[in-house]
């Protein structure tokens, strides 16, 4: 493993090539798509993680053009971990989707015809959350979000020949692959971005592909949900872009490092944080919260995630919503911690707590499986935002108290939830296909008929409820530890209460699944690879709970504010002025061919003093305390 191998580039380029292949050659290219994207991304993500683990943060200037004009890719421990999870979830979903959309399979065979009077159990496609196949049937009365009310007769029609496999039509499959590969490329590029404008572009690319994925099912509900998602998403992006414009106006730089040191430097120099910075941070935060579906901006999420085809739901709930959270963490804790008042930390924590409780309660009253899982996503996303108020003793993170239990816990919850929720959506897709309906009551006895999918769902449920051994347990336990250590009992109560509610809604599904099944028609066969993909992903979520030390150690690489407030500005000039950035950054394997720094920019406006170097980044902020944190083997509270 050479420190110079550009694996960081392949993590973005591989899915991009796959997207072009899939768009250009259609289903014939599916094997190539698997080779370049589905194999390429996990390999490059794993290699990059090893590089980060061994050699510290990785940086690559694309085409040799570094900041400020070029685009730089940068991976620290956080980025490498997000990339790894994106790779694992993405690979499993791809395997699942190849069964779901029937890529390269024989034409579907009619196996049975249903009696139209068998209420609720007609074998509609799994997107039947939304209603009726083909869109030709007369619209049935619908509940508020265009979702079939429980037990409502499925309009799949009397005597209609139904198919065993694949569960979705090939047309949707044709569009799924290019869209998903594009989404993957955008997502990976987002995790590796190091300037705010790139974050905007990748965020927008990701959202546009995600909206298209929602509408793949072609049903009325999916179209309406996709439209609502698109509008909310565009609003969020524009707010973020407005913040980018304000930040550039204030500091004349877009790079995260440059912004961090400029803001900290202004404060160090006896100045105060300009109002434009606070305004920029505020509009960016609102935009990102809309995109992350943080309570009370969550209303768009459940219909969109529930009406998408199962693989798309898994990607949206598992990965896409985490991207906005990731940017928020970077901005608040690493780039502009000096501009975040303690009140804002508590406010966003309150919203997170609201999401945990309200989302769980709504999940508890759903009658449809995918809607239940989608509301569970709203609730579990709330946990991520509890990271903010638990960070310090009520002060701003700039105070320097970098409470690693809350930080690791919040991020770990994001990683575990990505795997577990994707596994649950995949398993739900299989179960819905088998039972022919999205209603919870239709799941009676599914545990006997689809034991693998059922197991995957149950293991995912462990993470939702935060029970050991699961990744969700580690995340929630670390958050609880942070709350206990500082005596903040209210937050601890929210974490524990949310876990109980989660256990309750997971139990509702399990109760149906264990039910009796004699009176039901035989289940539609489910391709085996769909079941195995969901189970594999659920096992990863459990493994995250068993082997937590290594990921958490990786998370510490490069963590901490990018520019500490005191004593940081001792290296004026820094990267922008120094054509050969060595010195303090020497441990970073910067490719020797990054000539753009300081060259060719003589006409450009004066840049602020640049980043104080990696001294800040590798400061031992996080050392030690983890050893004291009670980790996996400790039984739950």
Partner 1 sequence: MTPPLLYALAGAGLFALGLHAFLIRRHLFWKVLAFNVMGSGVFLVLIGAPASPPGGGADPVPQALVLTGIVVAVSATALAIGLALRVAAKTGHPHLPEDADA
Residues at the contact surface with partner 1, assessed by CB under 8 A: 68-69, 135, 144-146, 197, 201, 204-205, 208, 211-212, 215, 220, 223-224, 226-228, 230-231, 234-235, 237-238, 241-242, 244-246, 248-249, 252, 254, 603-606
> Shortest distance, CB of residue 299 to partner 1, whole angstroms?
9
Alpha helical stretches, state H, 436-514:
446-449, 451-465, 471-485, 489-513
> Shortest distance, CB of residue 353 to partner 1, whole angstroms?
26
> Shortest distance, CB of residue 501 to partner 1, whole angstroms?
26
The nearer residue to partner 1, 245 or 364, going by C-beta atoms, is: 245
> Shortest distance, CB of residue 372 to partner 1, whole angstroms?
21
Paired with 60 in beta bridges are 73
CA pair distance 336, 266, nearest whole angstrom: 12
- The pair of structure tokens assigned to 382 is 């709330």
The nearer residue to partner 1, 201 or 364, going by C-beta atoms, is: 201
Distances (CA, A) of 502 to 315, 366, 454, 469: 21, 13, 17, 16
> Shortest distance, CB of residue 139 to partner 1, whole angstroms?
9
> Shortest distance, CB of residue 234 to partner 1, whole angstroms?
5
Query: Which is nearest to 420 in space by CA: 472, 371, 355?
Result: 472
- The pair of structure tokens assigned to 194 is 């190091």
Buried b (16+ CB within 10 A) or exposed e, 551-567: bbebbbbbbbbbbbbee
Distances (CA, A) of 305 to 208, 229, 378, 547: 15, 10, 11, 30
The nearer residue to partner 1, 32 or 227, going by C-beta atoms, is: 227
Q: Write the DSSP symbol of residue 633.
A: T
The nearer residue to partner 1, 286 or 315, going by C-beta atoms, is: 286
Q: Torsion-angle region of residue 470: left (phi > 0), alpha (psi -120 to 50) or beta?
A: beta
In terms of Cβ atoms closer than 10 Å to its own Cβ (0-12, 13-18, 19+), residue 272 is: exposed
The nearer residue to partner 1, 48 or 147, going by C-beta atoms, is: 147
> Shortest distance, CB of residue 339 to partner 1, whole angstroms?
18
Between β-strands 161-163 and 58-61, what pairing exists: parallel, antiparallel or unpaired? Answer: unpaired
> Shortest distance, CB of residue 229 to partner 1, whole angstroms?
10
In terms of Cβ atoms closer than 10 Å to its own Cβ (0-12, 13-18, 19+), residue 627 is: exposed
Q: Write the DSSP symbol of residue 68.
A: T
Paired with 73 in beta bridges are 60, 193
In terms of Cβ atoms closer than 10 Å to its own Cβ (0-12, 13-18, 19+), residue 235 is: middle
> Shortest distance, CB of residue 526 to partner 1, whole angstroms?
29
The nearer residue to partner 1, 130 or 329, going by C-beta atoms, is: 130
Name every residue whose Cβ is closer than 8 Å to that of residue 67 and which is 6 or more positions away in sequence. Answer: 61, 194, 195, 255, 257, 258, 575, 576, 596, 597
> Shortest distance, CB of residue 350 to partner 1, whole angstroms?
24
> Shortest distance, CB of residue 228 to partner 1, whole angstroms?
6
The nearer residue to partner 1, 36 or 215, going by C-beta atoms, is: 215
The nearer residue to partner 1, 112 or 604, going by C-beta atoms, is: 604
Is residue 402 a contact partner of residue 391, using CB atoms and an 8 Å limit?
Answer: yes
The nearer residue to partner 1, 205 or 350, going by C-beta atoms, is: 205
Query: Which is nearest to 266 in space by CA: 608, 627, 618?
Result: 608
CA pair distance 35, 18, nearest whole angstrom: 8
Paired with 72 in beta bridges are 61
Question: How many C-beta atoms surround the C-beta of residue 72 within 10 A?
Answer: 24
> Shortest distance, CB of residue 68 to partner 1, whole angstroms?
7
The nearer residue to partner 1, 218 or 466, going by C-beta atoms, is: 218
The nearer residue to partner 1, 201 or 510, going by C-beta atoms, is: 201
| Tokens 């804002």 belong to residue | 344
The nearer residue to partner 1, 204 or 588, going by C-beta atoms, is: 204
């Amino acid at each position: 493993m050479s420190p110079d191998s550009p694996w960081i580039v392949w993590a973005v380029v591989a899915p991009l090539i796959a997207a072009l292949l899939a768009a250009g050659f259609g289903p014939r290219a599916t094997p190539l798509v698997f080779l370049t994207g589905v194999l390429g991304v996990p390999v490059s993500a794993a290699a990059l993680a090893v590089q980060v683990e061994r050699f510290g943060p990785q940086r690559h200037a694309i085409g040799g053009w570094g900041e400020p004009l070029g685009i730089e890719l940068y991976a620290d421990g956080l980025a490498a971990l997000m990339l790894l999870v994106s790779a694992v979830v993405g690979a499993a979903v791809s395997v699942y989707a190849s069964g779901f959309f029937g890529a390269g399979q024989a034409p579907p065979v009619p196996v049975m015809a249903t009696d139209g009077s068998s209420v609720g159990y007609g074998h509609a496609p799994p997107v039947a959350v939304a209603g009726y196949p083909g869109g030709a049937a007369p619209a049935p009365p619908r509940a508020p979000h265009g979702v079939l009310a429980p037990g409502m007769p499925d309009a799949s029609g009397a005597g209609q020949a139904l198919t065993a496999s694949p569960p979705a039509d090939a047309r949707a499959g044709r569009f799924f692959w290019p869209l998903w590969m594009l989404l993957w490329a955008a997502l990976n590029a987002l995790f590796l971005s190091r300037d705010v404008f790139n974050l905007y572009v990748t965020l927008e690319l990701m959202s546009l592909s995600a909206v298209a994925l929602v509408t793949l099912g072609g049903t009325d509900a999916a179209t309406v949900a996709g439209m609502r998602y698109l509008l909310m998403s565009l609003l969020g992006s524009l707010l973020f872009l407005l913040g980018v414009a304000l930040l550039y106006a204030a500091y004349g730089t877009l790079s995260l490092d440059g912004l961090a040191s400029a803001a900290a430097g202004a404060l160090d120099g006896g100045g105060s944080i300009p109002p434009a910075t606070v305004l920029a941070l505020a509009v960016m935060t609102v935009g990102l919260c809309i995109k992350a579906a943080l309570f009370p901006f969550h209303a768009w999420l459940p219909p969109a995630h529930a009406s998408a085809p199962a693989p798309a739901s898994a990607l949206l709930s598992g990965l896409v919503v985490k991207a906005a959270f990731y940017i928020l963490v970077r901005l608040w804790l690493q780039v502009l911690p000096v501009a975040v008042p303690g009140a804002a930390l508590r406010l966003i924590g309150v919203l997170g707590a609201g999401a945990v409780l309200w989302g769980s309660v709504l999940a508890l009253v759903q009658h449809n499986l995918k809607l239940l899982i989608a509301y569970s996503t709203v609730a579990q996303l709330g946990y991520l935002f509890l990271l903010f108020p638990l960070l310090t003793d009520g002060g701003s993170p700039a105070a320097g108290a970098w409470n690693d239990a809350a930080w690791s816990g919040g991020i770990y919850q994001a990683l575990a939830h990505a795997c577990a929720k994707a596994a649950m959506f995949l398993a739900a897709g299989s179960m819905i296909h088998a039972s022919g309906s999205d209603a919870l009551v239709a799941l009676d006895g599914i545990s006997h008929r689809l034991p693998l999918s059922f197991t995957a769902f149950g293991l995912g449920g462990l993470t939702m409820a935060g029970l050991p051994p699961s990744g969700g347990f580690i995340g929630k336990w670390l958050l609880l530890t942070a709350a206990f250590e500082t005596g903040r009992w209210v937050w601890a109560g929210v974490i524990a209460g949310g876990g109980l509610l989660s256990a309750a809604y997971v139990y509702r599904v399990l109760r149906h699944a264990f039910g009796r099944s004699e009176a039901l028609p035989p289940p539609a066969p489910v391709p085996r690879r769909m079941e195995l993909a969901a189970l594999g992903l659920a096992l990863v979520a459990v493994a995250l709970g068993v082997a937590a030390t290594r990921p958490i150690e990786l998370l510490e690489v490069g963590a901490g504010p990018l520019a500490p407030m005191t004593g940081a500005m001792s290296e004026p000039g820094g990267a922008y002025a120094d054509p050969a950035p060595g010195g303090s950054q020497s441990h970073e394997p910067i490719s020797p061919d990054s000539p753009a720094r300081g060259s060719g920019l003589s006409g450009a406006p004066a840049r602020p003093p640049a980043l104080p170097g990696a001294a800040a980044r590798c400061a031992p902020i996080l050392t030690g305390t983890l050893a004291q944190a009670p980790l996996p083997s400790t039984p739950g509270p």
